[in-house]
Structure 1
Protein backbone atom coordinates (compact mmCIF):
# COMPACT_ATOMS: atom_id res chain seq x y z
CA UNK A 1 0.00 0.00 0.00
CA UNK A 2 1.43 3.38 -0.94
CA UNK A 3 1.28 5.97 1.79
CA UNK A 4 -0.01 9.52 1.45
CA UNK A 5 2.37 10.84 4.08
CA UNK A 6 5.97 10.38 5.11
CA UNK A 7 6.22 10.90 8.86
CA UNK A 8 9.59 9.33 9.67
CA UNK A 9 11.83 11.69 7.71
CA UNK A 10 14.05 14.70 8.30
CA UNK A 11 11.97 17.82 8.89
CA UNK A 12 14.73 20.45 8.89
CA UNK A 13 14.22 23.21 6.34
CA UNK A 14 17.24 23.40 4.04
CA UNK A 15 18.41 19.83 4.69
CA UNK A 16 19.03 17.74 1.57
CA UNK A 17 16.99 14.92 3.19
CA UNK A 18 13.89 17.07 3.84
CA UNK A 19 10.87 14.78 3.42
CA UNK A 20 12.86 11.76 2.18
CA UNK A 21 11.69 8.46 3.66
CA UNK A 22 15.10 6.80 3.31
CA UNK A 23 18.62 8.15 3.11
CA UNK A 24 22.18 6.98 3.80
CA UNK A 25 22.40 9.80 6.37
CA UNK A 26 19.66 8.32 8.60
CA UNK A 27 20.28 6.18 11.66
CA UNK A 28 17.45 4.97 13.88
CA UNK A 29 16.34 4.39 16.51
CA UNK A 30 18.55 6.83 18.38
CA UNK A 31 17.76 7.44 22.08
CA UNK A 32 20.19 10.34 22.67
CA UNK A 33 17.35 12.73 23.59
CA UNK A 34 15.44 10.20 25.71
CA UNK A 35 12.92 9.08 23.08
CA UNK A 36 13.17 7.04 19.88
CA UNK A 37 14.33 9.40 17.17
CA UNK A 38 15.64 9.38 13.63
CA UNK A 39 19.12 10.92 13.49
CA UNK A 40 19.87 12.78 10.26
CA UNK A 41 23.66 13.04 10.00
CA UNK A 42 23.37 15.56 7.13
CA UNK A 43 21.95 18.31 9.36
CA UNK A 44 22.25 16.82 12.87
CA UNK A 45 18.52 16.86 13.66
CA UNK A 46 16.66 14.27 15.78
CA UNK A 47 12.99 14.17 14.68
CA UNK A 48 10.93 11.73 16.78
CA UNK A 49 10.01 8.33 15.34
CA UNK A 50 6.32 7.47 15.09
CA UNK A 51 4.50 4.16 14.69
CA UNK A 52 3.36 4.43 11.05
CA UNK A 53 0.53 1.87 11.32
CA UNK A 54 -0.94 3.61 14.36
CA UNK A 55 -0.63 6.95 12.54
CA UNK A 56 -2.36 5.53 9.43
CA UNK A 57 -5.26 4.21 11.54
CA UNK A 58 -5.69 7.60 13.21
CA UNK A 59 -5.31 9.48 9.93
CA UNK A 60 -7.90 7.38 8.07
CA UNK A 61 -10.50 8.29 10.71
CA UNK A 62 -9.42 11.94 10.58
CA UNK A 63 -9.47 12.11 6.76
CA UNK A 64 -12.84 10.34 6.49
CA UNK A 65 -14.40 12.85 8.87
CA UNK A 66 -12.78 15.75 7.00
CA UNK A 67 -13.92 14.41 3.61
CA UNK A 68 -17.53 14.05 4.75
CA UNK A 69 -17.55 17.56 6.22
CA UNK A 70 -15.77 19.43 3.42
CA UNK A 71 -16.32 17.35 0.28
CA UNK A 72 -12.78 17.80 -1.06
CA UNK A 73 -12.25 14.06 -1.63
CA UNK A 74 -13.96 10.70 -1.26
CA UNK A 75 -14.31 9.46 2.36
CA UNK A 76 -13.73 5.84 1.22
CA UNK A 77 -10.86 5.89 -1.31
CA UNK A 78 -9.66 9.52 -0.86
CA UNK A 79 -9.99 10.10 -4.63
CA UNK A 80 -10.54 13.62 -5.96
CA UNK A 81 -12.31 12.67 -9.20
CA UNK A 82 -15.95 13.42 -8.33
CA UNK A 83 -19.17 14.37 -10.08
CA UNK A 84 -22.27 16.18 -8.88
CA UNK A 85 -24.91 13.50 -8.32
CA UNK A 86 -28.23 15.28 -7.86
CA UNK A 87 -29.66 16.62 -4.62
CA UNK A 88 -30.92 15.04 -1.42
CA UNK A 89 -34.52 15.70 -0.19
CA UNK A 90 -33.31 18.77 1.75
CA UNK A 91 -31.87 20.26 -1.46
CA UNK A 92 -28.17 19.81 -0.67
CA UNK A 93 -25.83 18.75 -3.47
CA UNK A 94 -24.84 15.06 -3.50
CA UNK A 95 -21.42 13.93 -4.73
CA UNK A 96 -20.34 10.65 -6.32
CA UNK A 97 -16.76 9.39 -6.49
CA UNK A 98 -15.84 8.21 -9.98
CA UNK A 99 -13.35 5.69 -8.60
CA UNK A 100 -15.38 3.73 -6.04
CA UNK A 101 -18.92 5.03 -6.84
CA UNK A 102 -19.52 6.13 -3.21
CA UNK A 103 -22.33 8.73 -2.97
CA UNK A 104 -22.45 11.22 -0.08
CA UNK A 105 -23.61 14.71 0.84
CA UNK A 106 -20.82 16.92 2.19
CA UNK A 107 -21.72 19.45 4.85
CA UNK A 108 -19.86 22.28 3.11
CA UNK A 109 -19.10 21.43 -0.51
CA UNK A 110 -16.59 23.65 -2.28
CA UNK A 111 -16.61 23.20 -6.03
CA UNK A 112 -13.16 24.76 -6.49
CA UNK A 113 -10.45 22.32 -5.38
CA UNK A 114 -6.91 23.61 -5.13
CA UNK A 115 -4.14 21.05 -5.42
CA UNK A 116 -1.26 21.11 -2.90
CA UNK A 117 2.34 21.90 -3.73
CA UNK A 118 4.86 19.08 -4.23
CA UNK A 119 5.89 19.21 -0.57
CA UNK A 120 3.46 20.62 1.96
CA UNK A 121 3.75 20.47 5.71
CA UNK A 122 0.58 19.89 7.69
CA UNK A 123 0.41 20.41 11.44
CA UNK A 124 -1.55 17.65 13.18
CA UNK A 125 -2.17 17.16 16.88
CA UNK A 126 -1.82 13.46 17.58
CA UNK A 127 -4.00 12.19 20.44
CA UNK A 128 -2.23 8.81 20.62
CA UNK A 129 1.01 10.43 21.86
CA UNK A 130 -0.36 10.48 25.41
CA UNK A 131 -2.19 12.95 27.59
CA UNK A 132 0.95 14.63 28.93
CA UNK A 133 2.78 14.86 25.60
CA UNK A 134 1.90 18.11 23.85
CA UNK A 135 3.85 17.35 20.71
CA UNK A 136 3.25 18.64 17.21
CA UNK A 137 3.79 16.29 14.29
CA UNK A 138 4.68 17.63 10.87
CA UNK A 139 4.12 15.30 7.94
CA UNK A 140 4.96 15.67 4.28
CA UNK A 141 2.31 15.23 1.62
CA UNK A 142 3.42 13.14 -1.36
CA UNK A 143 2.03 14.55 -4.64
Structure 2
Protein backbone atom coordinates (compact mmCIF):
# COMPACT_ATOMS: atom_id res chain seq x y z
CA UNK A 1 0.00 0.00 0.00
CA UNK A 2 2.86 2.33 0.85
CA UNK A 3 4.47 1.79 -2.59
CA UNK A 4 1.29 2.95 -4.35
CA UNK A 5 1.40 6.21 -2.47
CA UNK A 6 5.06 6.74 -3.35
CA UNK A 7 4.42 6.01 -7.03
CA UNK A 8 1.33 8.15 -7.34
CA UNK A 9 2.98 11.02 -5.46
CA UNK A 10 5.63 11.35 -8.17
CA UNK A 11 3.33 10.82 -11.16
CA UNK A 12 1.65 13.98 -12.39
CA UNK A 13 -1.95 14.04 -11.19
CA UNK A 14 -4.66 13.05 -13.66
CA UNK A 15 -6.69 15.82 -15.26
CA UNK A 16 -10.26 14.68 -14.75
CA UNK A 17 -10.27 11.15 -16.16
CA UNK A 18 -7.22 11.82 -18.37
CA UNK A 19 -3.95 10.20 -17.32
CA UNK A 20 -1.47 10.41 -20.19
CA UNK A 21 1.48 8.90 -18.33
CA UNK A 22 1.50 5.21 -19.23
CA UNK A 23 3.41 2.73 -21.38
CA UNK A 24 3.10 3.72 -25.02
CA UNK A 25 4.57 0.52 -26.52
CA UNK A 26 1.65 -0.97 -28.46
CA UNK A 27 2.63 -4.64 -28.10
CA UNK A 28 3.32 -4.33 -24.35
CA UNK A 29 0.95 -5.88 -21.82
CA UNK A 30 1.00 -2.58 -19.84
CA UNK A 31 0.07 -0.44 -22.87
CA UNK A 32 -2.27 2.27 -21.57
CA UNK A 33 -2.22 0.93 -18.00
CA UNK A 34 -2.76 3.57 -15.33
CA UNK A 35 -1.76 1.25 -12.50
CA UNK A 36 1.37 2.75 -10.85
CA UNK A 37 2.47 -0.76 -9.77
CA UNK A 38 3.21 -1.55 -13.45
CA UNK A 39 5.99 1.03 -13.48
CA UNK A 40 9.20 1.88 -11.64
CA UNK A 41 9.63 5.54 -10.79
CA UNK A 42 13.13 6.71 -11.65
CA UNK A 43 14.40 9.42 -9.32
CA UNK A 44 18.04 9.70 -10.48
CA UNK A 45 17.45 13.29 -11.57
CA UNK A 46 14.86 14.96 -9.28
CA UNK A 47 14.41 17.83 -11.75
CA UNK A 48 13.36 15.39 -14.48
CA UNK A 49 11.69 12.29 -13.04
CA UNK A 50 10.80 9.44 -15.37
CA UNK A 51 9.21 6.06 -15.12
CA UNK A 52 10.05 2.65 -16.56
CA UNK A 53 7.58 0.00 -17.65
CA UNK A 54 8.24 -3.23 -15.73
CA UNK A 55 6.99 -5.35 -18.63
CA UNK A 56 8.86 -4.02 -21.68
CA UNK A 57 11.48 -1.67 -20.21
CA UNK A 58 10.25 1.40 -22.11
CA UNK A 59 10.77 4.72 -20.38
CA UNK A 60 8.36 7.34 -21.76
CA UNK A 61 8.82 10.85 -20.37
CA UNK A 62 6.47 12.13 -17.69
CA UNK A 63 4.18 14.86 -18.99
CA UNK A 64 1.82 17.25 -17.24
CA UNK A 65 -1.74 16.09 -17.82
CA UNK A 66 -3.07 19.56 -16.98
CA UNK A 67 -0.81 21.26 -19.55
CA UNK A 68 -1.83 18.84 -22.31
CA UNK A 69 -5.53 19.32 -21.56
CA UNK A 70 -5.08 23.11 -21.43
CA UNK A 71 -3.40 23.03 -24.86
CA UNK A 72 -6.18 20.80 -26.21
CA UNK A 73 -8.82 23.25 -24.99
CA UNK A 74 -6.93 26.17 -26.55
CA UNK A 75 -6.78 24.35 -29.89
CA UNK A 76 -10.50 23.51 -29.69
CA UNK A 77 -11.25 27.23 -29.29
CA UNK A 78 -8.99 28.04 -32.24
CA UNK A 79 -10.77 25.38 -34.29
CA UNK A 80 -13.99 27.41 -34.29
CA UNK A 81 -12.02 30.19 -36.02
CA UNK A 82 -14.22 33.06 -34.84
CA UNK A 83 -17.45 31.23 -35.71
CA UNK A 84 -20.17 31.18 -33.06
CA UNK A 85 -19.46 28.28 -30.69
CA UNK A 86 -19.53 27.45 -27.00
CA UNK A 87 -16.48 28.85 -25.22
CA UNK A 88 -17.03 27.25 -21.81
CA UNK A 89 -13.75 25.43 -21.06
CA UNK A 90 -15.54 22.68 -19.12
CA UNK A 91 -18.15 21.98 -21.81
CA UNK A 92 -18.17 19.00 -24.17
CA UNK A 93 -19.25 21.33 -27.01
CA UNK A 94 -16.22 23.60 -26.60
CA UNK A 95 -15.23 25.09 -29.96
CA UNK A 96 -17.84 23.19 -32.00
CA UNK A 97 -19.42 25.81 -34.30
CA UNK A 98 -23.18 26.30 -34.53
CA UNK A 99 -23.04 26.15 -38.33
CA UNK A 100 -21.83 22.54 -38.42
CA UNK A 101 -23.23 21.30 -35.09
CA UNK A 102 -26.67 22.90 -34.96
CA UNK A 103 -28.10 19.97 -32.94
CA UNK A 104 -25.88 20.97 -29.98
CA UNK A 105 -27.39 24.48 -29.66
CA UNK A 106 -30.72 26.21 -29.87
CA UNK A 107 -31.51 29.75 -30.96
CA UNK A 108 -32.11 31.87 -27.89
CA UNK A 109 -33.49 35.19 -29.07
CA UNK A 110 -31.58 38.20 -30.30
CA UNK A 111 -29.12 40.68 -28.87
CA UNK A 112 -29.85 43.79 -30.91
CA UNK A 113 -29.91 42.46 -34.47
CA UNK A 114 -27.57 39.51 -33.76
CA UNK A 115 -28.71 35.93 -33.10
CA UNK A 116 -28.10 34.51 -29.63
CA UNK A 117 -27.60 30.79 -28.97
CA UNK A 118 -27.68 28.59 -25.88
CA UNK A 119 -25.49 25.50 -25.55
CA UNK A 120 -27.60 22.43 -24.76
CA UNK A 121 -24.78 20.88 -22.72
CA UNK A 122 -23.72 23.68 -20.34
CA UNK A 123 -26.53 26.25 -20.87
CA UNK A 124 -24.02 29.02 -21.70
CA UNK A 125 -25.25 31.69 -24.11
CA UNK A 126 -23.29 33.50 -26.80
CA UNK A 127 -23.94 35.84 -29.70
CA UNK A 128 -23.29 35.19 -33.39
CA UNK A 129 -21.37 38.34 -34.27
CA UNK A 130 -21.75 37.62 -37.99
CA UNK A 131 -25.57 37.44 -37.99
CA UNK A 132 -26.31 41.17 -37.83
CA UNK A 133 -27.84 43.18 -40.65
CA UNK A 134 -25.49 43.74 -43.59
CA UNK A 135 -26.59 46.53 -45.96
CA UNK A 136 -24.19 45.31 -48.68
CA UNK A 137 -25.39 41.72 -48.56
CA UNK A 138 -26.99 41.71 -52.03
CA UNK A 139 -23.98 43.33 -53.73
CA UNK A 140 -21.60 40.90 -52.05
CA UNK A 141 -23.69 37.91 -53.14
CA UNK A 142 -23.75 39.13 -56.76
CA UNK A 143 -19.99 39.79 -56.64
CA UNK A 144 -19.21 36.28 -55.41
CA UNK A 145 -21.62 34.70 -57.91
CA UNK A 146 -19.92 36.53 -60.80
CA UNK A 147 -16.43 35.62 -59.53
CA UNK A 148 -17.33 31.94 -59.16
CA UNK A 149 -18.84 31.80 -62.65
CA UNK A 150 -15.59 33.04 -64.19
CA UNK A 151 -16.41 36.64 -65.13
CA UNK A 152 -13.39 38.96 -65.45
CA UNK A 153 -12.89 41.64 -62.78
CA UNK A 154 -13.48 44.57 -65.19
CA UNK A 155 -16.74 43.00 -66.38
CA UNK A 156 -17.87 42.56 -62.76
CA UNK A 157 -17.05 46.20 -61.99
CA UNK A 158 -19.07 47.37 -65.02
CA UNK A 159 -22.04 45.18 -64.08
CA UNK A 160 -22.13 46.23 -60.43
CA UNK A 161 -21.30 49.89 -61.09
Q: TM-score, normalised by structure 1?
A: 0.49
Q: Which has the higher contact order (CA 8 A, sep 6+)?
A: 1
More helix by share: 2
Larger Rg over CA atoms: 2
Q: TM-score, normalised by structure 2?
A: 0.44
